[in-house]
Amino acid sequence: MQPETSRRQRMRSLALGLAIGMAAALPAAALTPLQEGVYARGGVEVEHLRFGDEDATGAYLDFDIGIATGTVFGLPVGVELGAEGFSEADGESAFYGAATFDTGLGVVGVGVPRFALDKYVSTPKLGGFRLIEVIDLGLIDGRGVSGLYYLTSSDIPYGISYDLAGENFGLGLSYHEYDDEDGTSVIQAAGNVRAGLMVFGAGGEYLDSRAGDAEFYTASIALQTEWFDLGAQHSRLQTTIDFGELITDDFGEALDELGVGSLAVTGEVDATKLWATWRPIQRLDLTASYVAFDGGNEELYGLNARYNLAGMFVEGGAVDGFGNEPLYSASVGFDF
């Protein structure tokens, strides 16, 4: 009986490691235990956008699932699977999958693991607007440029990841090499620490290819209470690559219709994001957010309301700063 008990304890340890790693930067409600040794995080969302007389509707999914499967040479092993995708007319998608090993000093993933910034950086959406966070080059959501590169290309990023997490902290490292003609590789590091009501986070990435290189840094601080949250994030992108070329024609046409300008970015760009969330009643979040680029040369303002019920949500919001009219969004989705 003792060996079986020990094996179960090791399996629970790996499952807990997978769960904490997936939820380290996310609210507890975003992590769902499906059964013993199986955890999931993510959701599916349908978003309708309106800018002036133009309309667009898109579907978005982003999920991860961690499964503890057994032991190899006494080490608990498992798998992590994930996907991210967006469809508006035509769609783009990215798939992740890695074998995981609990070393006792952290969880190692090999295959196509999630990028570290994707795991450990999470801030409220600007005006509840999902599309702009898919293609914002990390400057609004703080997640860097590597995920966008994978999402908009067919080049698979094979790599290795490392996660060390506890009750009040999380740390992740990842290294990927893309299966492309430019020999693109990227290394990321990210983490966060909770101290009472305060949460501190930071991360960065370095992407290198024959087409050029890019450096990305982000840092955030947030006060989280039962009734309200306050937060700030600063991000910087330095690059010799024109990342606007990553945006497909379909995305570009949709963005032009919605009044979003060119995303061609070279040189250095700074972005500061501020947000405040108020919960006047249970399950209802009201959020105001603000983003300033390059010290205030360009500014975006967002307002949104989100109502959560039994894993589902309804959300509506607006973003001002694109063109001469506000951009409105309404969405419904499911979190698990």
Domains and CATH numbers, the chain: 2-335 (2.40.160.10)
Q: How far is CA 169 from CA 15, 38, 184, in A?
A: 17, 21, 31
Q: What residues have CB less than 8 Å from 30, skipping those under 6 apart?
A: 23, 41, 42, 335
Task: Decide if pLDDT at 7 tops 60.
Answer: no
**What average pLDDT does range 175-203 have in this prediction?**
94
Report the distance separating Cα 200 and Cα 191, nearest Å: 9
Q: Which residue has the higher pLDDT, 253 or 105?
A: 105
Q: Is the pLDDT of residue 37 over 80?
A: no
Does the pLDDT of residue 286 top 60, yes or no? Answer: yes
Confidence of residue 25 (pLDDT cuts 50, 70, 90): very low
Contact 121, 172 (CB under 8 A): no
* pLDDT band (50, 70, 90) for residue 196: very high
Q: Which residue has the higher pLDDT, 249 or 279?
A: 279
Compute the distance between CA of residue 331 and CA of residue 81 in angstroms, rounded to an integer: 26
Helices (H), the chain: 2-23, 116-120, 130-134, 146-151, 249-257
Q: Is the pTM of the predicted complex or chain greater than 0.75?
A: yes
- Rounded to an integer, the average pLDDT of 311-322 is 91
Residue 259, helix vs strand vs coil: coil
What confidence score (pLDDT) does residue 318 get? 95
Which of 1-10, 72-81, 97-106, 148-157 has the weakest average pLDDT?
A: 1-10
Task: Give the dihedral of Cα atoms 237, 243, 248, 251; nearest 10 deg.
Answer: 30
**What secondary structure letter does DSSP report for 96?**
E
The answer, yes or no, to whether residue 31 has pLDDT greater than 90, is no
What is the model's pLDDT at position 252? 55
Determine contact, residues 146/176, Cβ cutoff 8 Å: yes
The residue-averaged pLDDT of 284-301 equals: 88
Q: With a cut of 60, say whether residue 118 has pLDDT above it.
A: yes
DSSP secondary-structure letter at 115?
P
Short-list 153, 58, 66, CA closest to 114: 66
pLDDT of residue 163: 94
Nearest to 59 by CA among 16, 90, 28: 90
Q: For tokens 């973003």, what's the residue?
A: 319
Angstrom distance (rounded) from CA 241 to CA 249: 18
Which is more confidently placed, 237 or 325? 237
pLDDT of 82 higher than 50: yes
| Mean per-residue pLDDT over the chain, rounded | 82
The tokens for 52 are 């002036």
Q: In terms of C-beta density within 10 A (0-12 exposed, 13-18 middle, 19 or more buried), how is residue 84 classed? A: buried
Model confidence at 62: pLDDT above 70: yes
Q: Which residue has the higher pLDDT, 31 or 217?
A: 217
Q: Taken in order 15, 17, 20, 23, is the CA torsion positive or negative?
A: negative
More confident residue, 190 or 267: 190
Nearest Cα residue to 138 out of 214, 194, 72: 214
